[in-house]
Amino acid sequence: MEASSSFKEGAEIVFFDLETTVPNRVGQRFRVLEFGAIVVCPLKLVELESFTTLIRPTDLSAVAARSSRHDGITREIVATAPLFEEVADKIFSILNGRIWAGHNIQRFDCVRIREAFAEIGKPAPNPVGMVDSLGVLTQKFGKRAGNMKMASLASYFQLGQQKHRSLDDVRMNLEVLKHCATVLFLESTLPSILQGKWKTSSTITTRNRANGKLHCREEGSRKSPPSSPGYQARSVPYATRERLGIAKMTAKVKNVVCSAQGKQPFNILLKHSRSLLH
């Protein structure tokens, strides 16, 4: 698990995500196109505030004129968005001095944030702790949920399809961790009943149209192992999922194994998962 041990008492957690350009030639760099974040209370995981903004790169030609993804970010969409330096102070205030959380943020988002601040000559924000859900879920859910892409994890928990827009992906990330915490709490509470009930899931795939035929290909993004960029619209809205409640989770948990052994920082999520069961 990729995490910092320097947690401050009472520090808030900020889940965040970046959308960027994808370099297609040597020497080309990532350009931030969108920033989204949700600040949550670590005691209850309730939302305290949120912020999202599109960002126009200084080199607009680096943005694709057309996106291969549904609702993808295009050159036209960011043409009138603020430059990074115009929203840098707000992004700094959202991130600085908080626990950072997200999927594969340690190797991707954190690097891109520091690059963006360096480019405008301003100091980058610093976290007081780090929760990278890629490491957490690799340790706890890797086998049962297939690969570690957010799209696959969301499919496993029947949360719909990933939209690859910052704030939507942040909300999905938070929901995945809540569901994970609930399952692990139940497993640790009823190990003799739930142990050994799950089987390795097959790789999650979607269908991508090419040459007039439908082909199954793995989902992916610039933040996960390379694969085809074919995505479809989200099929299950968040409001619908919330109405389904924890009943669906308790049914699914009969197919998973007891693997919860509380270790920081995931203990923060596990010890408060009782509230998710109410």
Closest CA to 140 of 254, 272, 5, 260: 260
Q: Per-residue pLDDT tens for 75-125?
A: 999 999 999 999 999 999 999 999 999 999 999 999 999 999 999 999 999
Structure tokens at 156: 């496993």
CATH number of the domain that residue 24 is part of: 3.30.420.10
- Domain membership flag for residue 236: no
Whether residue 204 is contained in a domain is answered as: no
> What three-state secondary structure class fits 198?
coil
Domain carrying residue 67? 13-189
Maximum Cα–Cα distance across the chain: 58
Unique residue bearing structure tokens 């809205």: 237
Sequence-distant (6+) residues with CB within 8 A of 213 are none
The verdict on residue 45 lying in a domain is: yes
Residue 260 belongs to some domain of the structure: no
Active site residues: 164
Q: Return d(Cα 54, Cα 33) in angstroms, integer.
A: 6
Specify the number of domains making up the chain. Answer: 1
Per-residue tens of pLDDT for the chain, all 278 residues = 334 444 455 689 999 999 999 887 787 889 999 999 999 998 888 899 999 999 999 989 888 887 767 667 999 999 999 999 999 999 999 999 999 999 999 999 999 999 999 999 999 999 999 999 998 888 877 778 888 889 888 998 999 888 889 999 999 999 998 898 888 888 888 887 776 555 444 444 433 434 433 333 333 345 554 443 433 333 444 444 444 444 444 444 444 333 434 444 444 444 444 444 44
Residue 81 tokens, joined: 């968005």
**Cα 166 to chain center, whole Å?**
9
- Closest by CA position to 130, among listed 98, 168, 161, 158: 98
243, burial (CB in 10 Å: exposed 0-12, middle 13-18, buried 19+): exposed
3-class state of residue 270 by DSSP: helix
Q: Token pair for residue 60?
A: 């607009």
Amino acid letter, residue 164 = H
Distance, C-alpha 93 to centroid of its chain: 21
